[in-house]
Amino acid sequence: MRLKPFEFFNPSSLSETFELLSRYGPDVRLIAGGTDLLVQMKQRLTKPDRLINLLNVSELKGIKKQGNSLRLGALLKHAELEQAEGLNGDYKILAKAAHKIGSPQIRHLGTLGGNLCNASPSADTAPALLVLEAEVLLVSRNGERCLPLETFFKGPGQTELKKGEVLKEVILHSPPVESRFSYLKLGRRKSMDLALVSAAVLLTIDRMGKKFEKVRIALGSVSPTPIRVREAESLLEGQPIDMNLVGQGAELAQNACRPISDIRASAEYRRKMVKVLIERAVRECLGLPISPTGI
């Protein structure tokens, strides 16, 4: 289907972007990789009169180390996240999640900021960033504000971005030493598919290797937004490592979900797979064997 005609603007700075946003208001949309927006435009789900291209805005690019934090520009491509040296070690879960997105062609076009601002419940980077307790830096001509990513999502396709605001950076803080990570994604195919269920787990183990000191669990595709599962986290933190207890935590996670039934999977199946994925992710973090599944 042919696209509806639109005006196209190509600013080179945030100040130019803010001016355009102020001038055209609700009749303008931001675009970077376009892997979500262009599909919506072709399907006539959205019909913007004007597009502002962000790809030449230098303030939105790059990875910067600042003390114990890492600041990721919103224009980072998924392929860059896969390969970035700065995401080794403490942040490797994000590189793993980025690798799960679409095809290589999509990963070379799509951006971190776009994946978050599209606010899909199945966004692959979101659960990984939630267990890393990421923050988002939102900027406008009136200043900036920093929010926990957990509060950024409001519903499918809805975020806390206000009129005239742009997502500039995602901020990561170093997790505790002895932290371990896992990100598992269940789809109808092994690759190039949206998640039916996804699970990210961060575990910090005590020095004796006997107890969960810190637990972070996040899920995608099972609620209107990607979610942290705080009830399960609270059950496990401070407790001895016990897979039976992990199973109880996974059941709490099932109860916290609000999955839907659609053409890809039923709500009942999604809820059952939450428990399976969390238990397997914890086993992977602990170096325990899991049966080969292709997940």
Where residue 246 sits, what CATH number does that domain have?
Answer: 3.30.390.50
Pair of tokens at residue 277: 């994925």
Residue with tokens 């491509």: 77
Task: Give residue 188's pLDDT.
Answer: 78
Q: Is residue 294 part of a domain?
A: no
Determine the pLDDT at residue 89.
78
Residue 218's domain comprises 186-285
Domain count, the chain: 3
CATH number at residue 162: 3.30.465.10
123/222 same-domain check: no
CA distances from 177 to 115, 225, 266, 295 (A): 28, 29, 39, 27
Give the domain-ending residue among 130, 150, 173. 173
Report the C-alpha gap between 147 and 26 in whole angstroms: 23
**High-pLDDT (> 70) share of the chain, %:** 97
pLDDT at 293: 63
User: Tell me, what's the pLDDT at 295?
Assistant: 60
C-beta atoms surrounding 204 within 10 Å? 18
pLDDT of residue 66: 87
Task: Decide which of 173, 208, 233 is a domain's last residue.
Answer: 173
Tell me: do 159 and 209 sit in the same domain: no
Give this prediction's pTM.
0.94
Low-confidence ranges of the chain (pLDDT < 70): 1, 190-192, 292-295
pLDDT at 4: 84
The verdict on residue 68 lying in a domain is yes
- Burial call 168-198: b when 16+ CB within 10 Å, e when fewer: bbbbbeebeeebbbbbbbbbeeeeeebbbbb
pLDDT value of residue 19: 96
Model pLDDT, residue 1: 64
The pLDDT value given to residue 185: 94
Query: Are 274 and 216 contained in the same domain?
Result: yes
Structure confidence at residue 97 (pLDDT)? 94
